[in-house]
Amino acid sequence: MELNLKVDGMTCGHCEQAVKNAVLEIDAAASIQIDRSKGSVKVETEGNKDDIVKAIEEEGYAVLSIL
């Protein structure tokens, strides 16, 4: 499944890594592409969408939309 997420609050490389690690905790085989300037996170995963969103939000980032 492909998820295109709009994530607010990513301001640096550390933020990107925190989001990546959160997704990888749910699905270690996930493919993740982040464009911090646009706040976009593209995830190719077999994981549960709600679990991925929750993991990102638990890191302190707001998931504004899921496309």
Mean pLDDT in residue range 8-14: 96
For residue 61, what pLDDT band results from cuts at 50, 70 and 90?
Answer: very high
Averaged pLDDT of the chain: 97
- State the total domains in the chain: 1
pLDDT at 25 over 90: yes
Question: In the chain, what percentage of residues exceed pLDDT 70?
Answer: 100
Q: How far apart are CA 4 and CA 40, in angstroms?
A: 7
> 30: domain range?
2-66
* CATH code, domain carrying 16: 3.30.70.100
The CA-atom distances, in angstroms, between 15 and each of 3, 18, 25, 48 are: 19, 5, 16, 22
